[in-house]
Amino acid sequence: HRITFAVVLFILLIVISSILLLIWWPGKPSLAEITNSWVSLIMVYLVLSILLFEKPIYKFFEEFITAKKSGQHDSQQSRQEQFLGLVSDINIGDLASYYDSKQDNILNKEIQDTDSVVLREEEMAKYIRKLQKENIRWRFLYADTYLVLYAKYVLFWLHKSKSVDREEFNNIWQSKISNPEEREAILDALLDLEFIREEEGDTFSITELGSAYVNCLKEMDKQISY
């Protein structure tokens, strides 16, 4: 903070002196004339004032930085809570198809490991659905935090188009995302999150999970608008 404080003050003094010199510029500029002018007098007073009140100014600067960081943290936490609240309303039954038999077997094993008592079939199904719901909640929160903006734009576009091939995707998005590696990275990220699926013929389509995430973003946008 000390170094940042010193840099900010230095830049501020340069800006103030530049503004003053723009207001007043001698007819025959010379170093002697500038140093003997009212501009240099004001700058001397400013420097002396900063030296005299360094501690209170620094304390104010620290409080400002702390408040800004706290505000960013509170804003992010509030967004996370809002997002998790929206996800909690999702009908998990509509998304259960994204957990194939292999995933279900892993969940069943986890249940057996946590309790030696054989769970009834109804309790087991309830526990599996709870784990699936938590998985979806945190996957959406991860996407909201780490997906780049253009990845969300692509997902909205796929939500509207339903199904597109790679050539069409490149033709549409190369003007906005010129780097082909970046376009591939966006597709890979959406595939990893299971928001889209790759089908035969190098075709991509949005999944129910991806559509649910898009709807979450729409709901959040409505709440922010209100």
206 membership: H or E segment, kind and range: strand 203-206
Q: Are residues 14 and 67 both part of a single domain?
A: yes
* Residue 61 near residue 1, CB atoms below 8 Å: yes
Q: What is the pLDDT of residues 97-148, one digit of tens each?
A: 555 444 555 555 555 555 544 556 666 666 566 666 667 777 777 777 777 8
Per the structure, the count of domains in the chain is 3
Q: Are residues 189 and 126 both part of a single domain?
A: no
Q: Are residues 130 and 159 both part of a single domain?
A: no
Q: Are residues 155 and 202 both part of a single domain?
A: yes
Domain-ending residue, one of 119, 142, 165: 142
Q: What is the pLDDT of residues 46-86, one digit of tens each?
A: 777 777 777 777 777 677 777 666 555 555 555 555 555 55
Domain-ending residue, one of 118, 142, 166: 142
Domain-ending residue, one of 51, 84, 117: 84
Q: Are residues 33 and 67 both part of a single domain?
A: yes
Nearest C-alpha neighbor of 143 from the set 131, 155, 158 = 155
Query: In the structure, what pLDDT confidence band is assigned to residue 12 with cuts at 50, 70 and 90?
Result: confident
- What dihedral do alpha carbons 156, 159, 161, 162 form, nearest 10°? 150
Q: What is the pLDDT of residues 194-222, one digit of tens each?
A: 888 888 878 899 888 888 888 888 877 66
10 membership: H or E segment, kind and range: helix 2-23
Q: Are residues 10 and 63 both part of a single domain?
A: yes
18: left (phi over 0), alpha (psi -120 to 50) or beta: alpha
Range of the domain at 165: 147-225
Rounded-to-integer distance, Cα 144 and Cα 147, Å? 6
| 179: CATH | 1.10.10.10
Q: Are residues 152 and 219 both part of a single domain?
A: yes
Q: Are residues 63 and 107 both part of a single domain?
A: no
Q: What share of the chain is helix, strand, coil (3-state, %, to 5)?
A: 75, 5, 20
161-189: b or e for each residue (b if 16 or more CB lie within 10 Å)? eeebeeeebeeebeeebeeeeebeebbeb
Q: Are residues 68 and 130 both part of a single domain?
A: no
Q: Are residues 135 and 154 both part of a single domain?
A: no
